[in-house]
Amino acid sequence: MELTSSSVTWLAMVILVITAAVTKIATGRKRSATDLTCKMPPPPPVVNSIALLRLLPTLFRSGLPAILHQLYMKFGSVFTISVAGLLKMTFLVGPEVSAHFFQGLESEVSHGNLFEFTVPMFGKEIAHGVDSATKNEQARFFVDALKPARLRIHVDPMVQEVEDYFAKWGQHGTVDLRRELEQLLLLISGRCLLGKEVMGTMFDEVCSLFRDIEGGVNMMSVFFPYTPLIPSNRRRDMARERLHAIFSDIVRSRKQQQGDGVDKDVLQSLIDSRYKVDGRATTEAEVAALMICLLFAAKHTSAYTSVWTGARLLSHGKFLAAAVDEQDEIVRQHGINGGRITDHYGSLMEMRTLHSCIKETLRLHPPVPVLTRTAHKQFTVRTREGHEYAVPAGHTIACPIVISNQVPYIYKDGHLYDPGRFGPGREEDKVGGKFSYASFGGGRTSCVGEGYAYMQIKVIWSHLLRNFELRLLSPLPKSDWSKTMAATKLARVKRPIALNPRSNRPLPPVVNSIALLEHLPRLFTKGVIALMHDLYTRFGNVFTATFLVGPEVSAHFYQGMDSEISQGDLYKFTVPMFAKGLDYFAKWGETVGLAWAESCSHTSQLRHTFDATKHTPNSQKIFSEIVRSRRDTNQLPAEQDRWKLRDRTRGHGTPEGPWGNGEWLRDTNVTGARLLTHDKFVTEALEEQKHMIQKHGDHICYNVLLDMDILHCCIKEA
């Protein structure tokens, strides 16, 4: 269910009012004992209800970040919003006042019940459904599974998914960037997080179930997370139960496996995790819940940031050019075999410009614009100007990342997109000190998937920058903070590809419909070959619908990786010809083709194959016998007799003929038509066959064929 800006604003206010009211009731409005002789710092300045009413036009016109920025400029880095005395929410802006927010003990500051609605989404076995000690242990499981030492094993699978996905984009066109990247990130998550079992036959089902989980995040589910009267809640609960069943079966199966056959993916890492308190292993239900939670976080954060990275880069030519130049340098340093990179992990670590572009995107567009906690004990903060404030227990405290990431005394022109601010000589986030950059949180609540997120975003955009010329067709989208889960509006990207996809050369000349109509008489009278020759003479050796004529432009056609260029569905009609069980396109190269290449690589095996097969369907053997049939006749065949010989040749391709099932029938016909209409070459072939008979006798064997140079050249020329 889509939420408007106003509905979500009121939703947030009502949630906080309820939280504040419950806190007041629980504490019984008791005040802790105070030492009157000790002078306490004053509470933060308060924004009362009347002041908030004055800001409502700004709220509806520009959104919540605009209001927070106005309040920050007026009251400073610490202020409290109070609504009728029930709702008291204290905002902490900037690194100087945020330390306790990020580093405070769980007994002093925590999420409280603010995220109770996530329990029926993931399960009561993890996160906000368990006590703090168990939750901290489970956070450690994520840290171990996604630590840098283990991230390396995910790079190659990520690259493979990205290459396979973008290979389907075609030559040029327009795409919905958000939809494309969301689908791609689901595939990456399935490959690296969920395991091969899910990627097999259950991936589509898991994706569908996951969408039902996402659909459970709406205004009604936040208010009433457990009621079955809401349809989205029922779908969410059924999807969660089914996902738990799927992952429980996988966990049970993997626990029965032993040795090196077990995958070293994130799923297996969670299965192998142990609680430090009692040493017990994770249960099937816990692993299932952890996987749903991890997939939810990975998809939303990475999809949101990937789209905004593209939108920002394509709107700033200077930084786009710098990122492209970096990719060129990476290819020069790490590329082999025509520029293909083999050390993907090492190259990703060197992409400092692209890393800064992504980091700057996150500074301006943090996936979660405002982080919230509940203060269980009073604490004191000191501002940059030296003012001290006491934040009372029971307040909801908020750290507006979207404002803190742009404070002017840390970030110069913080409202502008400038990845150079993180480069050598500036490093504004480090100069500003701890918690100056908090897009991934900080302290004990920092995001454990930061490294994983950067890695998969860099894999995606490094491939796009190296292989495509991109242009943003729609205007730079605006951040839409009106949804419960942060999102961005759709972007359209045009991606033309030439022979060198990122070159400045124009696309090949196009043979349009009118030009094709002009050549139709030529097609019907002389055939498609004559038509192709006319187009080649007129347009040169490259023209579109893209034909590549000549060796200079054909290298990629023959040598390109399957992820870059393949037969696609062009030969799908052969599937019912051969067998349903044979995936002709995907398996031909690695089964039949490789087996034949291996066989033919050894001369002895090829000789054995020929000699053991009495009726080998080979063009050279066929024509050596046809030519020999004329050796006692000085008169060459007349025109009509030559076509009879062609029919005779075709007869050899029938099941009754002596050369089997006609596998080389087409080549045989063409060679016969050419050879029997050129007296000079028939004579030369005849003389060679007489020499073969004198040297080897009438029997045609492997060694005899190797000596037939003239006949071989005739077949090759045909």
Annotated binding site for heme: 447
- Which amino acid is it at 439? S
Strands (E) across 551-604 are located at none
Measured between its terminal Cα atoms, the distance across the chain in Å is 67
Cβ atoms 184, 460 nearer than 8 A:
yes
As a whole number of angstroms, the distance between CA 187 and CA 194 comes to 10
Find all residues with CB under 8 Å of 406, minimum gap 6, and list them. Answer: 363, 364, 414, 415
CA atoms within 13 A on the CB side of 30: 5
The angle at the Cα of 423, spanning 467 to 329, to the nearest 5 degrees, equals: 30
Q: Tell me, what DSSP letter sits at residue 128?
A: G
Cα 457 to chain centroid distance, Å, stands at 8
547-548 and 542-543 beta bridge pairing: antiparallel
**Which sign does the torsion angle of CA 318, 319, 324, 329 carry?**
positive
Q: Give the CA distances from residue 384 to residues 74, 98, 454, 515, in Å, rounded to whole numbers and listed in that order.
A: 15, 11, 32, 72
As a whole number of angstroms, the distance between CA 646 and CA 264 comes to 61
- Alpha helix (H) ranges present in 629-664? 639-651
Binding residues: 447
Q: For 547, phi and psi rounded to 5 degrees?
A: -110, 135
Beta bridge partners of 53: none
Find all residues with CB under 8 Å of 701, minimum gap 6, and list them. Answer: 610, 611
